């Protein structure tokens, strides 16, 4: 598997480390039922069979966090963006 | 007891042989005395940082994994709004002098002691590096001035290519953490052994490799 | 037909023409007491114990393809009960006890081989944590033994004791651990369950759940709707996907774990060995192949295959541990989809949906758990309460913070 | 002249040189260009191995890497290679090979007795028996089965040869150097594209070397040679012979194994044995050819029965005939070529049997021109002969059976395209009725199949499809290939009607030769319901041998299909998995073995420590000084005691450079750190240091360390050595993903600074001298937890008043290159103060005496409360981990919490890992109340002490419990104490 780092170019997967579901969002402190929201954010991550938006860290390169869209059934990479620049939709 | 030994990147390197295998397929020399500063622009200040740097050194900080140099000073892009600047013979004073200049628009960290820097050249340097580094170093793909941050075995490295030598051998510089200097040299000399690996004492200024005239 | 040397002799004389189907290839009925989704080891053992222990035989096991071709047929066949936490240890020990009597229970030789499982340690801190784990095992009456480097050298002379980056200091041995023939376990449970009246329905893919009011009352399948009072999921690897059909989100990610087998060689590795300074475990099959593996690839995946970085990491660790295998060749590699839970431990519990029960999150520890998993899941389905050794495997433990994190890695599945 | 070597013709041999080798100790000869297989055949050796289960005599079946039978142990001693295919071994002078899986000898093998029980040893017999009496399985049956396991013997010694990895990148990777592959490489290479051409053979050309062809009017083998020369001359083309592309992976990455020195007696100095290539290719051309399949009939495993194409290659390329009389059994046109080539090489062909009633007239014409005896519409039922074929039973179209004498039989059952690589990424090959075989379908992105691999069995088709694919790949990379006209070749008959198996045979008919799977086994499996291909394979072990079913899988499916009234198409293809052919584990490990398994990080004082005779310990990647024993100090306890006492009573120095150091700057640095640390950081004054803990998002403690504030917008963090990299990743995540709006810059400065702890009551005296005129280190001028940036010896330096030992202590940081010099200065300056270096043992002991938590306590399952650090969790701000730390399970009062323990009997020893039980309570999980996490002998207190976690924690101080350790040192009664054994008030470090 090769990931196109927006900065470094296409690199082997061995340079990256994986975090998972990129739509993971920290609830803001004022939400009610905060504990439940946090439980969902931290433990109930998206795990689709197919396209998946996920966070990768270029640990063996520029140390950037990336939002990668990848098909978990075919391992095809569908898109990569810097976490700092990606729309946080 | 000797109380004032000179600076040493990795004392243990002295235990390594200076030649492995026969021939001079790969020649390694350690770069010394370099002043190295890591520059990270403050939020929204990268343009200002570039402007100040240009004013001071007449160099444009690249916004890509490229290296630009002028005289003793060079600067390379290593990340978003992040650069690595070097200055010959300047040692720790480089970052110290740069700090105040950029203070309001960038964080400057002295890295002069943080890395081993090996300059690698010789007719078989590409073949040897191909055994270690998962990046395409074909002359068409990795040009003079290009930079790559990648891994060499399990060692994080920064690598860039300088102008070829007069014998038109390619010239690379490989950076790795000081504590890993021994492991890195072992890996490189092992990979180059079949072509002949030679380690020389330190080089002159950054662009000694460049063709003269 | 009862299997024995005599049935074999009789058939030999009859030119082997009298063998019957190992298990009935059943047509689905319109309804059952219990439906088990998933014809892997866990689903089939659940069906077996439902019938045998609880007398519930109106059971169907639904499998989308042929039985036993998921993780039950893709693992490295290791069985052990060397666990640290009180929530895990008794469960896996029950499993070990069931393994020890499985041939007779099933009248099928699952080739359980208690050749020992040895975890090597390479540092003082690693030894300390093994001592802690070994003592926890002893507290539950599980066999555990601490070996020093000399003991290990006597057991496994081919390991690297003299030239290693991380020298072997000793190991934690569970002599009762070992291996079993994974396919035979599936076939044995299938045959035994089928013999007690359980319907094993192959090529029957569940495509959805039938809901009435709040509860689940059946499944929609590629072979039509089938109703049931209770439905148990045993589809580790695809638990998220099946649960999603019922509108459930679970603390589980699917990851790929690669495994490898070498060409058959004469006996070299007498027991199961785990390298402590890298990702590598190995045993030798009864056919002579070295069966080994390492860490999961580390990214969510539903493709039953992995990539080279893991292959290299495994082989490097193997060579660091056992430099004599340098010229032994890898014959085949494959990948299985692991249900990686958020704390590295499984879930056997009711779901928030009435009538739907969950058995999953086995990470890469599922094979050794096959007997106890079925035993405890059957208990839950039959008695509506968790079996005493599976009390900790609750679905709500992530919300309550009563976690079962053997490695202390936290909510990061690819680190467990 | 050896028995079966043809007199005339060079083939691809160099007859001018003779190589000698031994097989089972007997000496033979061959020539450069021979394989072990061709040389054995030439020497008249037919029996080369024994089968796995029945130990049946086996010969050479094929000429390539699909060989199931001819496996040998190659080389000797530490270089012994089990299960090596004789067909793939390039002959070298002095080669030593031995047959396998036989005892006492190959000709007389006692294991063959299994054949007598073959009626019992059928598919699945293991599972149906050995069950009673229960005890016997473990003690008798299973050990016996394991002893019988395996084919060859691996060496027990470390592999003496070297391996390495290499990376390559190209526009086009061509897999296979036959006509199709050569055409593809040539077209793309001429256009200027970067091409890599791999072939597992040592000679390019593929079937061009095995068959007789004409290309542009000249010999096909010559055309191959000339093409190879032109390719070699192209600057951007890399030809890799002896290289097998064994796997396709994601991202157009391929694994390939180059056998660098396997054709030599041993590798040269600095030469590796094999090189593992990771090739990234824009486009891939799959030109791996096709594999011929056998026909299943009685005694078809008898040595001398070979694939027809293999016979042809032995004749044309190696100038060897498998027997003086060689019959041919075919169901396709291709088989006839073998008969023709044999006859043309003056080898007697007693009969050509074709199962078809009608064949192309052109073939019959050629046959009669050669006076060849042909029987159409006939089948061979059985081959006879114990250790080699002597005769065959032929049943003609009228059902009459006659025996014909022959000492070899060439079998042509048709061709299976070699689809393996096309299916490694999950694509399933498609069934082709015309070929009666699977062809590549649903290929990996960027891969094109050509030639026989794509079902194009004719030479013309191979050249045409190859060139077209080469052109396509070139243009994809931006190069336009000239439209050369394809070479002229004669079109040939390549038809056939599949004959999977014959009926009415008498002997055993083998499908999988290596695993002795017969038609009977497959029938049993089908009868018992194991007819889906995966179950069939697992139940009968068919296709699980070293050849992975290359010659057996499809035949088996066809037979099951026939038994269950289906077509082979209905069964689908077995999933192909890497590696295509077996790959040595050593090659995949490359140079990462022994001491070079992983890199080793050395501290700035490493050489100095070595010179002081230090002992070292590996902690993760780092190698650190464990202790500095003086000569005569044989016992670790004496050294430890001296080092600890010297620090407690005088002054000691320790290299702490391994601690992670992270530079945090920016206007929002304070806010940022408040969010990642559980305690308040923004309130820290400039010039001060504070202890801090970070939690994981789930509320467990992640890491601890100090935070120093160098300026309002500049902080310096220290992390544990173990977590330095993980903490930076965690902070980068917070900075880039969680709060990208904050103005924060992060940089690791771990490698930049050498840092030394100078600890002990006399540390101030030492530093007063060392930093004279540089810094005021008095208690007033530089109180506990102070920090400062200095200029020392013309270099920047940093000074911190922090203490891990619990003594008055400082940490001095200097640029790493200056580390050794600084250490010399400290030692020199402190000489008369009695300064000593101390290592990890003393450091660890003093931190336990002081009750500081470390790795054993920060184990990822402990909360701040568990660690007695609950008060650090700020209630005045939000931070990572705050919310989930409040979950009932993490705040439950019954959670084991940090305590100290000391043995009731002062001379008793404590072990980390012991569990706490109430006195008198029987050992059981229910009674388990916690455990000892760290233990050490305390030189300060004169007895063992430990830290641990106990239900009820420090509420139970003074209580006596049992430290239960049946595993190592037995049980010890201990008293619960405060975790801080030494100077609880902290007077010493504030002194």
For D609-661, write each residue's pLDDT tens digit.
999 999 999 999 999 999 999 999 989 999 999 999 999 999 999 999 999 99
- CB contact B78 to A (< 8 Å): yes
Q: Which of B125, B179, B181 best probes binding to D when mutated, by most D CB atoms within 10 angstroms? A: B179
From CA C33, how far away is CA C357, in angstroms rounded?
A: 13
CA C341 to chain A, closest CA, distance in angstroms equals 9
The pLDDT value given to residue B6: 63
Q: Name chain D's partners: 3 or more CB pairs within 8 A.
A: A, B, C
Q: Is there a contact between B12 and D606 if contact means CB atoms under 8 Å apart? A: yes
Give residue-wise pLDDT tens across range D173-207: 999 999 999 999 999 999 999 999 999 999 999 99
Dump the DSSP string for D113-163. GGGGGTTTS-TTHHHHSS-SSHHHIIIIIHHHHHHH--SB---SSPP-S-E
State yes or no: pLDDT of D493 exceeds 80.
no
pLDDT at res. D453 = 98
Decide: D878 and D931 in contact? Cβ < 8 Å. no
Question: Structure tokens of A19?
Answer: 């975090």
Neighbours of chain B (3+ CB pairs under 8 A): A, D
| Helix residue ranges per DSSP H, D482-530 | 519-527
Average of per-residue pLDDT across B41-47: 97
Residue to mutate among A56, A65, A70, A74, with most D CBs inside 10 A, is A65
Q: Is the pLDDT of residue B210 over 80?
A: no
Averaged over D4-11, what is the pLDDT? 92
- Reported confidence tier of residue A87, pLDDT bands at 50, 70, 90: low
| CA atoms of B128 and B191, how far apart (whole Å) | 5
For chain B, say whether D671 makes contact (Cβ under 8 Å): no
Place of tokens 């004498």: D405
Q: In whole angstroms, how far apart are CA C413 and each of C300, C344, C352, C362, D586?
A: 9, 7, 23, 11, 30
pLDDT, average across residues B91-116 = 95
The confidence band for B211, taking pLDDT boundaries of 50, 70 and 90, is very low
Q: Does A73 touch chain C (CB under 8 A)?
A: yes
The Cβ of residue D864 has, within 10 Å, a number of other Cβ atoms equal to: 22
Residue among D155, B68, B27 at smallest CA distance from C326 = D155
Mutation for C interface: A24, A47, A48, most C CBs within 10 A: A47
Alpha carbons D276 and D243: distance in angstroms, whole number: 9
CB spacing of A61 vs B135 below 8 angstroms: no
Three-class DSSP category at C409: coil
Find the CB nearest D586 among C89, C110, C319. Answer: C319
**Which residue numbers of A have CB closer than 8 Å to B's CBs?**
7-9, 11-12, 14-15, 59-64, 82, 84
C325–D586 CB contact, under 8 Å: yes
Indicate the DSSP class of residue D94: T
Which residues, listed in sequence order, are joined to residue D786 by a DSSP beta bridge? D688
What residue ranges of chain C have pLDDT lower than 70? none
Spell out the residues 6+ positions from residue C139 whose beta carbon is closer than 8 angstroms to its own. Answer: D915, D923, D924, D925, D927, D928, D964
Cβ within 8 Å, pair B107-D604: no
CB contact under 8 Å between B148 and A8, yes or no, is yes
**What is residue B202's predicted lDDT score, i.e. its pLDDT?**
65
C-alpha–C-alpha distance, residues D68 and D48, integer Å: 12
Q: What is the pLDDT of residue D799?
A: 98
Cis (ω within 30 of 0) for the bond into A29?
no
Residues of C in contact with A42 (CB under 8 A): 342, 411
Rounded to the nearest integer, the mean pLDDT of chain B is 91
Distances (CA, A) of C184 to C389, D146, D501, D515: 26, 17, 30, 18
A42 vs C: CB within 8 A: yes
Nearest to D170 by CA among D417, D568, D446, D498: D446
- Check CB contact of D280 with chain B, cutoff 8 Å: yes
Residues of D in Cβ contact (< 8 Å) with B2: 824
First to last CA, chain B: 49
Q: Strand locations in D727-771, DSSP E?
A: 745-748, 753-759
Cβ of C307 within 8 Å of Cβ of A42? The answer is no
Please give the Cα distance from D922 to C252 (Å, whole number): 38
Q: How far apart are CA C202 and CA C193, in angstroms?
A: 14
A59/D252 touch (CB, cutoff 8 Å), yes or no? no
Query: Does the pLDDT of residue D234 top 80, yes or no?
Result: yes
Q: Is C7 near chain D, with CB under 8 Å?
A: yes
Give how far B56 is from chain D: nearest CA, Å. Answer: 23
Chain D residue numbers with beta carbons less than 8 Å from the beta carbon of A80 are none
CA distance D698 to D728: 18
What number of C-beta contacts closer than 8 Å exist between A and C?
62
Residue D622 at interface with chain B, using a CB cutoff of 8 Å:
yes
Cβ count near D142 (within 10 Å): 20
D794 DSSP 8-state letter = T
Burial B105-134, CB ≥16 within 10 A → b, else e: bbbbbbbbbbbbbbbbbbbbbbbbbbbbbb
The whole-angstrom separation of Cα D441 and Cα D449 is 9
Q: Do B151 and A82 touch (CB under 8 A)?
A: no
- The pLDDT of residue A89: 44
Chains with 3 or more CB pairs under 8 A to chain A:
B, C, D
Nearest-by-Cβ selection for A42 from D249, D737, D884: D884
Q: Provide the pLDDT confidence category of residue A85 given band limits of 50, 70 and 90.
A: confident
Query: What is the interface size between B and D, counted as CB pairs within 8 Å?
Result: 149
Query: Is residue C346 less than 8 Å (CB to CB) from chain D?
Result: no
- Residue C217 φ/ψ, nearest 5 degrees: -120, 5
Q: Provide, as residue numbers in chain B, all residues whose Cβ is less than 8 Å from the Cβ of A1.
A: none
Residues of A within 8 A of D443 (CB-CB) are none
**Closest to D225 in 3D by CA, of D16, D13, D12:** D12
D818/B113 touch (CB, cutoff 8 Å), yes or no: yes
Cα-based distances in Å from C306 to C257, C283, D249, D987 = 7, 21, 8, 58
In this structure, the strands spanning B26-30 and B197-200 are parallel
Closest to C370 measured CA to CA, from C1, C10, C34, C43: C43
Q: Which long-range contacts (CB under 8 A, 24 or more apart) does C384-391 make?
A: C386/C348, C386/C349, C387/C348, C388/C90, C389/C90, C389/C91, C389/C93, C389/C94, C390/C91, C390/C348, C391/C87
* Cβ-Cβ contacts under 8 Å for D143 (sequence gap 6 or more): none
Question: Which tokens in the block code for residue A74?
Answer: 């075919």
User: H/E element holding D352?
Assistant: strand D352-354
Q: What proportion of chain B, given as a percentage, has pLDDT over 90?
A: 84
Instruction: Write out pLDDT tens, residues B154-204.
Output: 999 999 999 999 999 999 999 999 999 999 999 999 999 999 999 997 654
Spatial CA neighbour of D164 closest among D78, D280, D271, D279: D271
Q: Which residues, including other chains, have CB under 8 Å from residue A79's CB and lie 6 or more apart?
A: A68, A69
Which pLDDT belongs to residue C140? 97
In this structure, are strands D660-665 and D714-719 parallel, antiparallel, or unpaired? antiparallel
Is the per-residue pLDDT at D827 higher than 60? yes
Q: Tell me how close the Cα of B191 comes to any Cα of chain A, in angstroms.
A: 20
- Compute the mean pLDDT over every residue in chain D, rounded to the nearest whole number: 96
- Which residue of chain A is at minimal alpha-carbon distance from D252? A1
| C304/D250 touch (CB, cutoff 8 Å), yes or no | no
In the three-class reduction of DSSP (H, G, I as helix; E, B as strand; rest coil), residue D787 is classed as strand
Please write the tens of the pLDDT for every residue from A24-73: 777 877 777 889 999 999 999 999 999 999 999 999 999 999 999 999 99
Min Cα–Cα distance to chain A from C43, Å: 22
Strand partners, D934: D947
Query: Can you give the pLDDT at residue D2?
Result: 61
Q: Which chains does chain C touch, 3 or more C-beta pairs < 8 A?
A: A, D
State CA C67 to chain mean position distance.
Answer: 15
Gyration radius from chain D CA atoms: 38
How far does the CA of residue A35 sit from the closest CA of chain B (Å)? 33
Q: Strands across the sheet with A51-57, in order?
A: A17-21, A51-57, A65-71, A77-82
Q: Which of B63, B76, B134, B175 to probe by mutation at the A interface, max A CB count within 10 Å? A: B134
C166-170, C370-374, D108-112, D719-723: least confidently modelled range: D108-112
Q: Is the model's pLDDT at B150 over the cut of 80? A: yes
- Smallest Cβ–Cβ distance between D860 and the set C265, C330, C408 belongs to C408
CA–CA separation, D735 and D739 (whole Å): 5
pLDDT for D199 equals 98
**In a 3-state reduction of DSSP, which class is residue C168?**
coil
Backbone phi, then psi, for D961, in 5-degree steps?
-135, 175
Bridge partners of C99, per DSSP, are none
Q: How near does any CA of chain C get to the CA of D36, in Å? A: 19
Say what the pLDDT of residue D131 is.
Answer: 77
């Amino acid at each position: 598997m090769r990931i196109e780092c927006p900065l470094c170019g296409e690199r082997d997967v061995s340079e990256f480390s994986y975090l998972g579901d990129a739509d993971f969002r920290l609830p803001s402190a004022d939400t009610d039922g905060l504990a439940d929201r946090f439980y969902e954010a931290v433990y109930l991550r998206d795990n689709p069979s197919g396209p998946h938006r996920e966070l990768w860290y270029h640990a063996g390169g520029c140390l950037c966090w990336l939002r990668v869209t990848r098909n978990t059934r075919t391992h095809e990479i569908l898109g990569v963006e810097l976490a700092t620049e990606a729309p946080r939709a | 007891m000797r109380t004032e030994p000179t600076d040493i990147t990795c004392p243990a390197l002295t235990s390594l042989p200076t030649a492995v295998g026969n021939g001079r397929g790969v020649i390694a020399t350690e770069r010394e005395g370099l002043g190295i500063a890591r520059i990270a622009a403050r939020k929204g200040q990268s343009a200002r940082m570039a402007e100040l740097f240009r004013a001071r050194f007449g160099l444009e900080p690249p916004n890509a994994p490229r290296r630009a140099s002028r005289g003793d000073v060079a600067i390379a892009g290593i990340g978003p709004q992040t650069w690595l600047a070097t200055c010959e013979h300047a040692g720790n004073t480089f970052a110290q002098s740069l700090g105040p200049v950029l203070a309001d628009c960038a964080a400057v960290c002295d890295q002069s002691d943080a890395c081993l820097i090996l300059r690698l050249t010789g007719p078989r340097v590409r073949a040897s590096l191909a055994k270690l580094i998962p990046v395409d170093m074909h002359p068409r793909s990795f040009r003079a001035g290009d930079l790559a941050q990648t891994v060499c075995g399990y060692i994080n490295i920064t690598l860039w290519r300088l102008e070829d030598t007069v014998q038109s051998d390619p010239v690379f510089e490989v950076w790795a953490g000081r504590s890993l200097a021994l492991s890195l040299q072992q890996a490189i000399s092992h990979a180059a052994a079949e072509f002949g690996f030679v380690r020389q004492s330190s080089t002159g200024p950054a662009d000694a490799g460049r063709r003269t005239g | 037909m009862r299997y024995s040397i005599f049935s074999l002799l009789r058939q030999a004389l009859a030119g082997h023409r009298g063998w019957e189907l190992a298990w009935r290839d059943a047509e689905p009925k319109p309804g059952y007491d219990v439906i088990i989704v998933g014809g892997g080891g866990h689903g089939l053992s659940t069906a077996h114990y439902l019938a045998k222990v609880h007398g519930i035989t109106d059971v169907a096991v639904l499998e989308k393809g042929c039985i036993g071709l998921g993780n039950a047929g893709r693992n490295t066949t290791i069985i052990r009960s060397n666990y640290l936490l009180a929530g895990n240890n008794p469960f896996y020990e029950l499993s070990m006890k069931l393994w020890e009597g499985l041939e007779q229970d099933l009248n099928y030789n699952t080739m359980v081989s208690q050749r020992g499982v040895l975890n090597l340690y390479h540092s003082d801190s690693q030894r300390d944590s093994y001592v802690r784990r070994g003592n926890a095992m002893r507290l539950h009456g599980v066999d555990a033994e601490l070996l020093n480097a000399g003991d290990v050298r006597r057991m496994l002379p081919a390991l690297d004791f003299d030239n290693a980056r991380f020298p072997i200091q000793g190991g934690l041995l569970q002599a009762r651990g070992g291996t079993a023939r994974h396919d035979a376990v599936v076939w044995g449970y299938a045959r035994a369950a089928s013999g007690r009246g359980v319907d094993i329905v192959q090529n029957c893919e569940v495509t959805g759940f039938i809901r009435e009011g709040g509860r689940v009352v059946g499944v929609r399948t590629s072979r039509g709707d089938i109703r049931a009072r209770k439905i148990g999921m045993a589809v580790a690897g695809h638990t998220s996907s099946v649960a999603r059909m019922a509108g459930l989100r679970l603390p589980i990610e699917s990851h790929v774990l690669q495994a490898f087998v070498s060409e058959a060689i004469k006996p070299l590795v007498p027991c199961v060995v785990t390298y402590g300074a890298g990702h590598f475990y190995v045993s030798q099959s009864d056919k002579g192949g070295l069966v080994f593996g390492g860490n999961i690839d580390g990214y969510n995946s539903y493709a039953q295959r992995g990539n080279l970085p893991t292959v290299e990491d495994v082989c490097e660790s193997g060579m660091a541990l056992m430099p004599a295998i340098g010229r032994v060749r890898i014959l085949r590699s494959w990948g299985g989809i692991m249900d990686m839970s958020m704390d590295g431990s499984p879930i056997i519990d009711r779901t928030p949906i009435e009538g739907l029960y969950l058995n999953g999150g086995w990470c890469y520890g599922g094979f050794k758990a096959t007997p106890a998993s079925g035993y405890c899941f059957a208990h839950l389905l039959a008695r509506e309460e968790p079996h005493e050794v599976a009390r900790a495997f609750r679905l709500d433990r992530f919300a309550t913070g009563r976690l079962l994190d053997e490695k202390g890695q936290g909510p990061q599945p690819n680190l467990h | 002249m050896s028995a079966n070597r043809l007199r005339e013709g060079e083939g691809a041999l160099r007859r001018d040189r003779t190589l000698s080798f031994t097989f089972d100790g007997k000496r033979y000869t061959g020539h450069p260009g021979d394989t072990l297989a061709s040389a054995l055949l030439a020497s008249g050796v037919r029996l080369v191995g024994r089968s796995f289960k029945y130990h049946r005599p086996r010969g050479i079946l094929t000429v390539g890497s699909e060989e199931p039978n001819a496996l040998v142990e190659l080389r000797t001693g530490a270089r012994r290679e089990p299960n090596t295919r004789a067909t793939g071994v390039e002959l070298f002078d002095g080669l030593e090979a031995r047959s396998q899986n036989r005892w006492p000898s190959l000709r007389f093998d006692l294991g063959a007795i299994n054949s007598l029980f073959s009626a019992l040893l059928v598919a699945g017999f293991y599972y149906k028996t050995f069950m009673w009496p229960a005890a016997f399985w473990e003690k008798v049956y299973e050990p016996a089965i394991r002893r019988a396991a395996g084919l060859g013997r691996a060496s027990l010694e470390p592999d003496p040869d070297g391996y390495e990895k290499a990376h390559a990148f190209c526009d086009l990777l061509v897999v296979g150097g036959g006509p199709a592959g050569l055409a593809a490489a040539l077209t793309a290479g001429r256009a200027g594209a970067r091409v890599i051409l791999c072939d597992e053979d040592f000679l390019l050309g593929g079937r061009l070397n095995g068959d007789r062809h004409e290309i542009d009017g000249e010999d096909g083998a010559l055309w191959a040679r000339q093409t190879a020369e032109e390719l070699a001359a192209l600057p951007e083309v890399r030809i890799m012979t002896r290289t097998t592309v064994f796997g396709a992976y994601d991202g157009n990455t391929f694994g390939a194994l180059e056998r660098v020195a396997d054709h030599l007696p041993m590798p040269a100095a600095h030469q590796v044995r094999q090189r593992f290539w990771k090739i990234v290719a824009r486009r891939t051309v799959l030109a791996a050819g096709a594999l011929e399949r056998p026909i299943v009939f009685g005694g078809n495993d008898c040595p001398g029965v070979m694939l027809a194409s293999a016979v042809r290659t032995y004749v044309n390329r190696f100038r060897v005939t498998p027997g003086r009389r060689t019959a041919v059994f075919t169901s396709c046109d291709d088989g006839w070529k073998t008969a023709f080539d044999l006859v043309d090489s003056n080898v007697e062909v007693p009969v050509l049997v074709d199962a078809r009633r009608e064949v192309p007239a052109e073939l019959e014409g050629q046959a009669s021109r050669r006076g060849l005896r042909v029987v159409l519409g006939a089948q061979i039922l059985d081959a006879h002969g114990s250790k080699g074929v002597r005769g065959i039973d032929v049943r003609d179209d009228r059902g009459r059976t006659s025996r014909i004498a022959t000492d070899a039989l060439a079998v042509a059952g048709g061709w299976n395209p070699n689809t393996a690589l096309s299916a490694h990424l999950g694509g399933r090959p498609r069934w082709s009725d015309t070929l009666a075989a699977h062809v590549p379908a649903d290929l990996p992105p960027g891969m094109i199949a050509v030639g026989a691999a794509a079902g194009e069995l004719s030479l013309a088709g191979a050249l045409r499809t190859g060139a077209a694919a080469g052109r396509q790949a070139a243009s994809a990379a931006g190069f336009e290939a000239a439209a050369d006209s394809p070479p002229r070749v004669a079109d040939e008959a390549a038809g056939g009607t599949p004959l999977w198996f014959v009926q009415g045979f008498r002997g055993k008919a083998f499908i999988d030769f290596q695993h002795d799977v017969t038609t009977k086994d497959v029938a049993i499996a089908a009868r018992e319901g194991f007819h889906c291909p995966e179950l069939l394979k697992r139940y009968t072990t068919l296709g699980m041998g070293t050849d992975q079913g290359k010659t057996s899988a499809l035949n088996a499916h066809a037979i099951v299909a026939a038994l269950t009234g289906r077509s082979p198409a209905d069964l689908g293809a077995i999933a192909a998995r890497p590696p295509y052919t077996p790959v040595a584990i050593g090659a995949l490990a490359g140079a990462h073995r022994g001491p070079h398994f992983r890199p080793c990080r050395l501290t700035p004082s490493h050489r100095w420590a070595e010179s002081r005779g230090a002992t070292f310990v590996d902690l993760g990647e780092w190698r650190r000084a464990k202790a500095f024993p003086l000569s005569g100090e044989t016992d670790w306890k004496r050294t430890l005691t001296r080092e600890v006492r010297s620090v407690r009573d005088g002054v000691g120095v320790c290299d702490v450079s391994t601690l992670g150091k992270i530079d945090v700057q920016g206007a929002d640095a304070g806010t940022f750190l408040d969010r990642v640390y559980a305690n308040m950081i923004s309130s820290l004054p400039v010039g001060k240091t504070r202890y801090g803990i970070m939690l994981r998002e789930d509320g467990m403690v992640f890491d601890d360390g100090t935070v120093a504030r160098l300026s309002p917008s500049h902080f310096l963090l220290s992390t544990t050595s173990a977590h330095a990299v993980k903490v930076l990743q965690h902070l980068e995540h917070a900075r880039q993903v969680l709060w990208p709006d904050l103005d924060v810059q992060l940089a690791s400065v771990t490698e930049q600074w050498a840092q030394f702890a100078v600890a002990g009551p006399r540390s101030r005296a030492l530093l007063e001298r060392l930093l004279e005129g540089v810094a005021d280190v008095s208690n007033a001028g530089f109180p506990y937890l102070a920090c400062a940036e200095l200029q020392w010896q013309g270099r920047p330096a940093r000074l911190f008043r922090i203490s891990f030992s619990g003594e008055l202590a400082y940490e001095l940081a200097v640029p790493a290159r200056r580390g050794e010099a600084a250490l010399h200065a400290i030692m020199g300056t402190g000489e008369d103060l009695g300064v000593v270096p101390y290592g990890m043992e003393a450091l660890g002991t003093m931190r336990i005496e002081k009750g500081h938590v470390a790795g054993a306590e920060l184990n990822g399952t402990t909360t701040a409360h568990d660690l007695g650090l609950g008060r650090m969790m700020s209630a005045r701000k939000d931070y990572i981990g705050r919310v989930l730390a409040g979950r009932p399970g993490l705040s439950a009062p019954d959670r084991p919490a940090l305590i100290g323990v000391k043995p009731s009997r002062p001379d008793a020893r404590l072990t980390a890992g012991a569990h706490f039980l109430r006195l008198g309570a029987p050992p059981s999980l229910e009674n388990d109340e916690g455990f000892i996490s760290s233990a050490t002998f305390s030189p300060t207190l004169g007895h063992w002490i430990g830290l641990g976690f106990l239900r009820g924690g420090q509420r139970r101080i003074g209580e006596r419990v049992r430290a239960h350790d049946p595993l190592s040192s037995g049980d010890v009664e201990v008293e619960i104490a405060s975790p801080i054994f030494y100077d609880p008030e902290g007077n010493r470090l504030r002194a």
